[in-house]
Amino acid sequence: MAIKAASSLHRPIKIWTDSLSSLMAILNPKSHHSIVREIQTLLLSHKHIHLRWLKAHVGYLGNECADQLAKEAITKGNPFFLPKPLSYLKAEIKSVALSIWQGNWDNGETGRSTHDIVPKVSNKPVGWNTEEIMFVTGHGPFPSYLLRFNLRTHDNCSCGEKGDPIHYATKFPFTLSWHFQTPTVSLKLQWLKNILTNNFSRTRLRLLMHFLCDENNLIVENNN
């Protein structure tokens, strides 16, 4: 921004700026920004001050000097308090809230299988359907889940093995037609991620989960 001082009090003072956005903000009668409001009030009571726009970086000496001074002010100038806009505050609050949430998620005790797949918190949905959520979280018609909530005294499947989601997706004889290949322990996470990102696998998983919900008696027939 460059200011051309008037040689006498009767002549207008022209302020040149290459910031179109600043000019537009000052021209906006509905602006709520406190600095903009202040400038508008000043301009209204000082009619001899005129604002003008000029193109940046095309060699207007005054403007280039002003730019240079502005840059120097960042490193050499005196700091001063500038109120931040509401949007900044909102972004800050959101960032702090997300970071608290992330901390709780990282250090929590429940939902660890979900944490493995979705380690980063976000307020955007992950895009899983009900069946996928049941499978990933283990919150479904599985003996492992029923035991956890004291609805059963053991977590055995009717076939005798541990009845957790992976058992039904890989070993349980009645779900053979929807079986996935058994993953090695170290690749279990990648295996799960692959299923959730492949449309064919997702469909198969959905059918498998539907079957487990509909035919739950096959799983829990040997209760207690």
Q: Given candidates 136, 157, 205, 212, which one binds Zn ion under the rule CB under 5 A?
A: 157
Using CB under 5 A as the binding rule, whether residue 178 contacts Zn ion is answered as no
Give the shortest CB-161-to-Zn ion separation in angstroms: 5
Q: Given candidates 135, 145, 172, 178, which one binds Zn ion under the rule CB under 5 A?
A: 172
Between CA 68 and CA 58 the distance in angstroms is 14
Residues 205-223, buried b or exposed e (16+ Cβ, 10 A)?
bbebbebbeeeeebbbeee
Torsions phi, psi for 50 (to 5 deg) = -115, 140
Which of 84, 83, 56 is CA-nearest to residue 70? 56
Which single residue brings its beta carbon nearest to Zn ion?
157
Nearer to Zn ion, 106 or 161 (CB): 161
Q: Which stretch binds Zn ion (CB under 5 A): 31-39, 59-67, 161-169, 193-201?
A: 161-169
- CB count within 10 Å of CB 200 equals 8
Q: How many residues does the chain have?
A: 224
Tokens in use for 172? 């349980």
For tokens 């053991």, the residue is 154
Using CB under 5 A as the binding rule, whether residue 1 contacts Zn ion is answered as no
Using CB under 5 A as the binding rule, whether residue 142 contacts Zn ion is answered as no
Give the shortest CB-205-to-Zn ion separation in angstroms: 17
Using CB under 5 A as the binding rule, whether residue 212 contacts Zn ion is answered as no
Nearer to Zn ion, 26 or 163 (CB): 163
In the complex, the residues that contact Zn ion under the rule CB under 5 A are: 157, 159, 161, 172
